[in-house]
């Protein structure tokens, strides 16, 4: 099945970008959340992606099995440690004695840009996948 | 008293292995095996697609893109299988057309 293995690389990219989109959606949904389970306002979450398998393992595998396996995976989700936004709103139940509320450090502009980037990366992976497929289809046309 | 058992000579073992390997290789390269591999590829891919469609329809997974990738894979392995079949039939017809 090795001639179809290369499709899995693009597949892992699609999965990673969709996961990233999930995290961005969560950030946008919690843009006004002042209470969380851990206490305090919501902190913006970010996805850290890493490539699967180090170079040495890939080389050894390639020499023995003639099979290249690679791709990307989500290694962790980190929280943005930047300061919360201070908003003056004395009526808010979570306001301090001076009337200020700590709002989540989510910036809707930043999230929108991240969202566009995830979407474009998803598209790029689909294009790569289709090209890989077209190459295999063309190979089957040899000698026709 | 501990007596060490007689060990088989390592060199002879290695020789046996290599001779096995060459016969394996000959088997691997026969057309029948290639044909069977292509057919099994297709059957495996098709089974995967069926499983994915079932899981998606009962709401167990939302992995749309992997379903599409698996569909493409089964389509392409069917193409490969058909090409192999066509080549085999062409070769057969060519032989039948030989004048005796």
Window from A90-94, B16-20, B60-64 with minimum mean pLDDT: B16-20
From the number of C-beta atoms within 10 Å of its C-beta (0-12, 13-18, 19+), residue A93 rates as exposed
Which pLDDT belongs to residue A39?
Answer: 85
> Are the CB atoms for A77 and A16 separated by under 8 Å?
no
Instruction: Answer for the pair A105, A83: CB distance below 8 angstroms, yes or no.
Output: yes
Over residues A16-30, the mean pLDDT reads: 94
B51 in any annotated domain: yes
B11, part of any domain:
no
d(CA A118, nearest CA chain B) in Å: 15
Name beta bridge partners: A46.
Answer: A78
Question: Residue A116 and residue A123: Cα distance in Å, rounded?
Answer: 11
Judge whether B59 lies within some domain. Answer: yes
Q: What is the CA A127 to chain-centroid distance, rounded?
A: 18
Three-state secondary structure call for residue A84: coil
Find the mean pLDDT for residues A78-102.
92
ipTM of this complex prediction, to 2 decimal places: 0.70
Average pLDDT over residues A58-64: 67
Residue A113 has pLDDT above 70, yes or no: yes
Q: Whole-prediction pTM value?
A: 0.73
Measured between alpha carbons, how far is A12 from A5 in angstroms, rounded to an integer? 11
Q: List the one residue out of B33, B72, B67, B46 whose CA is nearest residue A137.
A: B72
Q: Could B76 and A129 be called an inter-chain contact, meaning their C-beta atoms sit closer than 8 Å?
A: no
In 3-state terms chain A splits into helix, strand, coil percentages (rounded to 5) of: 50, 15, 35
Q: Which two tokens stand for residue A66?
A: 């003639």
Q: Which of B65, B73, B83 sits opposite A4 (nearest CB)?
A: B73
Domain membership of residue B7 (yes or no) is no
What's the domain range around B40? 29-97
Number of domains in chain B: 1
Cα A114 from Cα A19, distance rounded (Å): 13
When pLDDT is cut at 50, 70 and 90, the band that residue A45 belongs to is very high
Residue A26 has pLDDT above 70, yes or no: yes
In a domain, B16, yes or no: no
Lowest mean pLDDT of A9-13, A91-95, B16-20, B59-63, name the range: B16-20
Task: Return the H-helix or E-strand segment holding A121.
Answer: helix A108-140
Of the two residues B45 and B12, the one the predictor is more confident about is B45
Q: Do B69 and A137 touch (CB under 8 A)?
A: no
Q: Do A15 and B73 touch (CB under 8 A)?
A: no
| Predicted local confidence at residue A31, as pLDDT | 93
Helix locations, chain A, DSSP H? 6-29, 55-65, 108-140
Q: Is residue B67 in a domain? A: yes
Please, where are the H alpha helices in chain B?
10-28, 31-57, 64-96
Phi and psi at A86, nearest 5°, equal: -90, 125
């Amino acid at each position: 099945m090795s001639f179809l293995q290369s499709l899995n690389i693009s597949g892992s990219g699609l999965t990673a970008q969709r996961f990233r989109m999930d995290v961005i959606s969560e950030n946008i949904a919690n843009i006004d959340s002042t209470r969380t389970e851990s206490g305090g306002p919501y902190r913006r979450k970010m996805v850290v992606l890493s490539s699967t398998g180090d170079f040495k393992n890939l080389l050894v595998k390639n020499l023995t099995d003639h099979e290249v396996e690679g791709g990307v995976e989500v290694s962790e989700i980190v929280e943005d440690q930047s300061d919360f936004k201070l908003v003056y709103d004395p009526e808010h139940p979570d306001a301090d004695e001076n009337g200020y509320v700590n709002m989540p450090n989510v910036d809707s502009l930043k999230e929108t840009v991240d969202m566009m980037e995830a979407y474009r990366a998803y598209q790029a992976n689909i294009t790569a996948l289709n090209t890989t497929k077209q190459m295999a289809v063309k190979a089957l046309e040899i000698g026709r | 008293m501990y007596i060490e058992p007689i060990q088989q000579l390592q060199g002879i073992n290695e020789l046996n292995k290599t001779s096995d390997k060459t016969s394996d290789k000959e088997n691997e390269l026969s057309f029948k095996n290639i044909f069977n591999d292509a057919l099994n590829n297709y059957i495996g891919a098709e089974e995967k697609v069926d499983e994915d469609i079932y899981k998606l329809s009962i709401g167990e997974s939302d992995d749309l893109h992997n379903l599409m990738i698996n569909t493409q894979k089964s389509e392409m392995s069917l193409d490969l299988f058909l090409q192999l079949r066509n080549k085999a039939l062409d070769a057969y017809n060519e032989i039948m057309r030989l004048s005796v």
